[in-house]
Structure 1
Amino acid sequence: MSSSPVRRIRSHRTRWRDRRRELAGLVARRVALGLPMLVGLSALVFLLAARSPFNPLAAYLGAGFQRTTAEQRESLSTALGFDVPWWRAWWSWAADLLHGDLGWSRGYAMPVSEVFAERLPWTLLLSGAALAVAVLSALVWGTVAGLHPGSWPDRIVTRVGVLVQAVPPFVLALGSVTVFAVILRWAPVAGAAAPGEAPTLGGVVTHLVLPACTLALTQLPWLLLAVRTAVARARGSEPVRAARARGVSPARVVTGHVLPVSLAPLVTIVGARLPELVVGAVLVEEIFAWPGIAAALIASAQSLDFPLLAALTLATTAVVLLGSLLADSAYLFLDPRVSADV
């Protein structure tokens, strides 16, 4: 009698130890695949920028390019490194990166690390708020729809989700600005603060609501329909029927049996949607003039600012890879049936 709890505890510890071992293997495999991908991607950025039909010196000087002589242009190209072969420029940048130096942004006339320090927190704030809104909304409305399949809430949730799926993110963003900022005047049009004013907590929250909700709306349909399907499937499962037969309250059945089963598919969808979230964040930031990395990314591409463009591309790719790893790791612990052989 007394040995049974001991065996269960040992079995539980063994499962957790095996899971940690599987997780370590998963991390090692993803790192082994991700590092060569990042190296190749950074080199590809320099190669494509060098093969661009645009003149980097003309992009750097702007209107002043026409007022320079051929000798001045040649001297400036040498001083700025525009005449260096792309592979040598990439090698020099990569060597500096290994020492913690992200390079110098010619477009912003400051170190790339300072551009990141100024703009990355704003992008993380917008993306984090949007993801939180999307996940919470999906859990609430997806659960309501899944618990009552065929009801009017289920029909509304399903049809709205399918409809929003078909709308491009930039159309949602432009529509949000037009309706809520221009026509109804419920929210500021753009930026993170009023023109000429320093950002304050209240001002940032006010300016954050509309772009965050818009970005959340671009990702919500997939999360919503995934939760709805998982809840509808879980409500008829054997553990749920057994809990109801024991007289467990409906609220306890939902929170203790239905929702835990629904979290695993939700985590998977969140990981799969991270690339789309990054792309959507760039579009939303540009339309709402949010002071994140989108403006820097577009400016670096237009001005052929190689170090900044490569660093931004690497950073966004690394965020996507890291988010996918975290999602797969969470799924590994949420569903004991899943193997980490991926």
Structure 2
Amino acid sequence: MTSLVKAPPRVPRAPFGRRGLGGTLLRLVGRRLLAAVPVLAAVTFGVFALSAASPFDPVKQYLGSAALTASQETLDQVARNLGVDEPFPRQWWNWLTSALTGDLGESSIFRQPVADVIAERIGWTALLCATGLAAAIAVAVVLGVAAARRPGGPLDRSLTSLAYALEAAPSFWVGLLAIWFFALQLGVLPAGGLSEPGSDTITPGGLLRHLVLPAGVLAISQMPWFLLYVRQGVTEALTEDPVRGARARGLRERTVLFGHALRSGLLPVLTLIGTRVPEVITGALLIETIFSWPGMAAATTEAATAADFPLLAAVTVLAAAAVLAGNLLSDVLYCLADPRVNPEEL
């Protein structure tokens, strides 16, 4: 006798589960690392191609005013010493093969190995970028959830208007305003540098005080995009059936917002992290200049103005590698957050 009770419909499985996730993520990382090799090589080739087309003469930049009275033999000898007497493809190949062994060349403007110039400064830039980005995401999550709680309400309109206003505000203007208000008017925070006036000693407490303004300005410059993404994602998540079901079960509003809606609404933010990395880097370089932060900004500016192409090539490679790493990080986080995503398809 045939049963009149129908079997429950089969729920389609997610295209990818948790099993084997570690291995597929490792393969994803491996594929991206292999793909990064030709990209970085092309970036460095472009730097040397631009150097060949540049009107700046690295020999004259190196000698300064002494180049006006130097003989042609002296100029040729300096060109040979700097390695700029050959066609630019040959210069690029010599630099690339040396870089693979860890030798990034000599900086003509700093008179020291390029690796030493970068090692002295990159840590400060990384600290500023990481602190600013983390602060921007943390503040954006809180404000975005608050705005999405009642879409169209006074708080939502105020925060959205603030986000659009901050998007249009140049970071250097925000930085100068912060120095004027917190350092000059209130006198509660230092205007720049890493140590107190008259002292070269860097203490943990002093470093924290000097980090507040530049990291805060960097966070303000990046926060609007994250705020708007969180607000949009959480607003859409609140209309989904799982979240409605959580409310129907009588869960607290805070649990519904942060435990259910935010989890779904954060997925677009993970993608945004990778796309914002270039903006964070360029914003950090500008903020370093405003606050006299001893990072890569000064080295990059001097390398560009002095036609120091070995240093400029190394800095460009680092920036390109940071962008590729940011995109990879966002993809990995997306795979960890959403079990439906198959890393093999990324």
TM-score, scaled relative to structure 2 = 0.89
| More displaced stretch, 268-277 vs 253-262 | 253-262
Give 2:70's aligned residue. 68
Measured at CA, do residues 78 and 100 of structure 1 come closer, stay the same or move farther in structure 2, by a change above 3 Å?
Answer: closer
Measured in 2, the distance between the counterparts of 1:79 and 1:120 equals 27
Aligned to 1:146: 148
Q: Unpaired runs of 5+ in structure 2?
A: 1-12
2:247 counterpart residue number: 244
1:288 pairs with 2:309? no
Mapping 1:254-333, distance limit 5 Å: 254-333=257-336
The alpha-carbon deviation at position 131 of structure 1 amounts to 0.7
Q: Deviations over 1:180-225 (max 9, x none)?
A: 3334433222212234422221111111111101011111000001
**Equivalents in 2 of 1:20, 1:105: separation in Å?**
42
Q: Percent identity?
A: 42
Partner of 2:188: 186
Q: 2:51 aligns with which of 49, 52, 58?
A: 49
Q: C-alpha distance in 2, partners of 1:60/1:183?
A: 42
Residues 44 and 313, structure 2, Cα contact 8 Å, conserved in 1: yes
1:78 and 2:84 matched: no
Number of positions where the alignment pairs a residue of Structure 1 with one of Structure 2: 331
Q: Distance in 2 between matches of 1:75 and 1:272?
A: 45
In structure 1, C-alpha distance between the alignment counterparts of 2:259 and 2:106, rounded to whole Å: 53
CA distance in 1, matches of 2:310, 2:82: 12
Aligned partners of 2:236 and 2:265 also within 8 Å = no
**Conserved in 1, the CA contact under 8 Å of 2:270 and 2:330?**
yes
How far residue 98 of structure 1 moved from its aligned partner, in angstroms, is 1.3
Q: Residue 25 of structure 1: CA displacement?
A: 4.6
Q: Give 1:26 shift.
A: 3.2
- CA shift at 1:24, angstroms? 4.0
When structure 1 is superposed on structure 2, of 28-37 and 90-99 the one drifting more is 28-37
Say which SS state the counterpart of residue 16 (structure 1) adopts: coil
Q: In the TM superposition, what is the alpha-carbon distance from 1:22 to its structure 2 partner?
A: 4.4
Deviation at 1:18, TM superposition (A): 4.9
1:335 to 2:338 alignment: yes
Alpha-carbon separation, structure 1, partners of 2:142 and 2:226: 11
> Displacement, 1:39?
0.2
Q: Any idea what SS the aligned residue of 1:294 has?
A: helix
Distance 1:216 1:265 in 2: 19
The whole-number CA distance in structure 1 between the counterparts of 2:59 and 2:189 is 41
Q: How far did 1:69 drift? A: 2.9
| Range with bigger deviation, 155-164 or 84-93 | 84-93
d(CA) in 1 for partners of 2:150, 2:307: 54
DSSP 3-state at the match of 1:17: coil
TM-score scaled by length of structure 1 = 0.90
Bigger helix share: 1
